[in-house]
């Protein structure tokens, strides 16, 4: 308690110095009746009523507990000081007439006269509203961040690099449980992970600490029962070269799914590879049977069987290329056409003195089986027809096939230097070969051109390509 050598309440009330203070001051007489309220206290309360006695403090100044209940008058710090007690840094809420709240903290003490008797009480008040608001916002922010990292499915930690080791400053419960502790705070990496594993993790962390951008690390983590995979994002914290924030996600299930998918794809490729092999073998058997039939048939039937064999071998040849290249649905079309001309057409359409020539300009190109086979059948059909019908008995000459890749189109030309294929000038010809060519060209959305001449015949085909299939 503070004795005053001279105590004059009127003198205190008239002291202008008290009105300059940022703290609120309320002074009572010995009965507890309020005799003075300085400017700061008036602003805090929104009112400055005098002659209020202790039992009316709470109601007249609208005072509430921190929990929001009306403050019991006898427990108010100023009322206790009137009774002779000293109360330090007690909190309460002032509800001003405009409805706003002030979070106040006050200290109340008795005032003693020269002879030691109590002559009053004094209360000093601080407005802590802004501080409480800031603390509340910070607490809410911390709670939000904590809730996020505790429920987001992430393993999170703040780590300090220390010498050759590192230290866990803090971590969420998921990270703590993964490392076998109840709380992460202050443990070293070596203590939790063992020296060998901690050295490896430390090296990764130190590399990440040198980057201004977040570093993403994907790594396996061997456990007794199984291997797990994790991906971590390591971010150097603002203005801190040795402090890192680590957020880690368990991607073991994703890795397992990727392995299963890779196995399924490998199995599918193996099965399709085997299918191509079996289809090729089956077609070759059919081709062999047709060849046997040719030997026992008359000339007209033999010609028809040979043409059928050429078509079968055209399809067999594409499956052979698919098998040989480990592909299952695409072939490099230029090499495929050249191979057909050299082997299938030269064999099926063989005539003494007639040769076959292939040329190409532009890049190489891959086409799907559904496109490659119709295009190949058209080439085989027209090249064999040229050898069969463009030359008279004993004539010699050359059947030329040329291809060109230009932009998003493939052009193919089949020419001969013989007497000419009379029926070729008529696209509506009823021959089987012509009907096959017309149907396949429509399937390819291709345009065809027939140009008969005094010497030789030109067949042209132009079809659209998908640009993404180009290889070189």
Both 428 and 370 in a single domain?
A: yes
pLDDT digits (tens, 9 = 90+) for 76-103: 999 999 999 999 999 999 999 998 999 9
pLDDT digits (tens, 9 = 90+) for 50-72: 889 999 999 999 999 999 999 99
| Highest mean predicted confidence (pLDDT) among 38-47, 132-141, 247-256 | 38-47
Could you give the CA distance from residue 412 to residue 405 in angstroms, rounded to a whole number? 9
Both 84 and 13 in a single domain?
A: yes
Both 271 and 295 in a single domain?
A: yes
Is residue 470 over pLDDT 60?
no
Reported as a pLDDT band with limits 50, 70 and 90, residue 211 is confident
- Predicted confidence at residue 141, as pLDDT, reads 66
Q: Which residues contact 159 (CB under 8 A, 6 or more apart)?
A: 166, 167, 168, 169, 189, 205, 243, 244, 245, 246
Is residue 386 over pLDDT 70?
yes
Both 380 and 464 in a single domain?
A: yes
Of the candidates 311, 328, 327, 427, which has an alpha carbon nearest to the alpha carbon of residue 374? 311
- Predicted confidence at residue 430, as pLDDT, reads 46
Question: Could you tell me if residue 195 is inside a domain?
Answer: yes
Window from 104-113, 308-317, 338-347 with minimum mean pLDDT: 308-317
- Predicted confidence at residue 148, as pLDDT, reads 67
Both 184 and 206 in a single domain?
A: yes
Q: Which of 313, 338, 353 is the last residue of a domain?
A: 313
Backbone angles phi, psi at 375, to 5 degrees: -65, -40
Q: Which of 287, 313, 339 is the last residue of a domain?
A: 313
- Decide if 419 contacts 391 (C-beta within 8 A): yes
Question: Could you tell me if residue 145 is inside a domain?
Answer: no
Window from 44-53, 109-118, 128-137 with minimum mean pLDDT: 128-137
Question: Could you tell me if residue 136 is inside a domain?
Answer: no
Reported as a pLDDT band with limits 50, 70 and 90, residue 105 is very high
Both 235 and 259 in a single domain?
A: no
- Predicted confidence at residue 410, as pLDDT, reads 92
Provide the domain limits for residue 296. 252-313
- Predicted confidence at residue 115, as pLDDT, reads 86
Could you give the CA distance from residue 365 to residue 362 in angstroms, rounded to a whole number? 9
Is residue 328 over pLDDT 70?
no
- The predicted model gives 26-55 an average pLDDT of 91
Both 178 and 245 in a single domain?
A: yes
Both 219 and 257 in a single domain?
A: no
- Predicted confidence at residue 271, as pLDDT, reads 65
Reported as a pLDDT band with limits 50, 70 and 90, residue 394 is confident
Question: Could you tell me if residue 357 is inside a domain?
Answer: yes
Window from 10-19, 84-93, 268-277, 434-443 with minimum mean pLDDT: 10-19
90-115 burial: b if 16+ Cβ within 10 Å, else e: bebbbbeeeeeebbbbbbbbbbbeee
pLDDT digits (tens, 9 = 90+) for 334-385: 888 888 888 778 777 677 788 889 999 988 888 888 888 888 888 888 888 8
Both 370 and 454 in a single domain?
A: yes
- Predicted confidence at residue 113, as pLDDT, reads 85
Both 109 and 164 in a single domain?
A: no
CATH of the domain at 455: 3.30.565.10
Q: What percentage of the chain reaches a pLDDT higher than 70?
A: 82
- Predicted confidence at residue 463, as pLDDT, reads 93
Reported as a pLDDT band with limits 50, 70 and 90, residue 429 is very low
Both 185 and 258 in a single domain?
A: no
Q: What percentage of the chain reaches a pLDDT higher than 90?
A: 26
CATH of the domain at 184: 3.30.450.20
Question: Could you tell me if residue 121 is inside a domain?
Answer: yes
Question: Could you tell me if residue 141 is inside a domain?
Answer: no
- Decide if 231 contacts 248 (C-beta within 8 A): yes
Question: Could you tell me if residue 344 is inside a domain?
Answer: yes
Is residue 147 over pLDDT 80?
no
- The domain tally of the chain equals 4
Is residue 392 over pLDDT 70?
yes
Both 122 and 20 in a single domain?
A: yes
Question: Could you tell me if residue 399 is inside a domain?
Answer: yes
Is residue 240 over pLDDT 50?
yes
């Amino acid at each position: 308690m503070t004795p005053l050598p001279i105590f004059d309440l009127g003198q205190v009330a008239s002291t202008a110095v008290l009105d300059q203070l940022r703290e609120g001051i309320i002074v009572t007489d010995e009965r507890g009746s309020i005799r003075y309220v300085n400017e700061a206290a008036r602003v805090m309360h929104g009112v400055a009523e005098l002659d209020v006695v202790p039992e009316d403090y709470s109601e007249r100044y609208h005072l509430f507990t921190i929990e929001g209940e009306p403050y019991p008058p006898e427990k108010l710090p100023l009322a206790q000081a009137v009774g002779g007690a000293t109360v330090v840094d007690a909190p309460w809420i002032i509800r001003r007439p405009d409805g706003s709240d002030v979070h106040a903290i006050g200290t109340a003490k008795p005032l003693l006269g020269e002879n030691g008797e109590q002559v009053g009480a004094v209360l000093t008040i601080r407005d802590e509203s802004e501080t409480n608001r800031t603390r509340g916002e910070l607490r809410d922010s911390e709670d939000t961040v904590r809730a996020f990292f505790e429920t987001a499915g992430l393993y999170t930690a703040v780590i300090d690099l220390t010498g050759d080791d590192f230290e866990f400053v803090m971590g969420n419960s998921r990270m703590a449980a993964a490392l076998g502790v109840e709380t992460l705070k202050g443990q070293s990496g070596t203590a939790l992970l063992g020296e060998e594993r901690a050295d490896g993790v430390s090296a990764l962390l130190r590399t990440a600490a040198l980057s201004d951008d977040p570093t993403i690390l994907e790594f396996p983590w061997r456990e007794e029962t199984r291997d797990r995979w994790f991906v971590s994002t390591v971010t150097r914290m603002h203005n801190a070269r040795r402090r890192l924030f680590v957020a880690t996600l368990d991607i073991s299930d994703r890795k397992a799914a990727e392995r299963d998918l890779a196995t399924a794809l490998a199995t599918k490729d193996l099965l399709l590879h085997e299918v191509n092999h079996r289809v090729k073998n089956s077609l070759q058997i059919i081709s062999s049977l047709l060849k046997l039939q040719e030997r026992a048939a008359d000339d007209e039937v033999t010609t028809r069987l040979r043409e059928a064999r050429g078509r079968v071998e055209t399809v067999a040849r594409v499956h052979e290329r698919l098998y040989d290249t480990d592909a299952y649905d695409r072939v490099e079309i230029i090499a495929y056409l050249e191979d057909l001309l050299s082997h299938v057409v030269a064999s099926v359409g063989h005539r003494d003195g007639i040769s076959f020539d292939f040329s190409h300009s532009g890049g190489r190109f891959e086409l799907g089986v559904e496109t490659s086979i119709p295009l190949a059948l058209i080439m085989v059909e027209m090249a064999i027809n040229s050898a069969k019908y463009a030359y008279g008995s004993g004539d010699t000459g050359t059947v030329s096939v040329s291809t060109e890749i230009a932009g998003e189109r493939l052009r193919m030309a089949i020419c001969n230097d013989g007497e000419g294929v009379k029926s070729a000038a008529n696209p509506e010809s009823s021959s089987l070969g012509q009907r096959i060519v017309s149907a396949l060209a429509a399937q390819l959305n291709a345009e065809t051109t027939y140009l008969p001449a005094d010497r030789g015949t030109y067949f042209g085909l132009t079809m659209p390509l998908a640009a993404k299939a180009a290889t070189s």
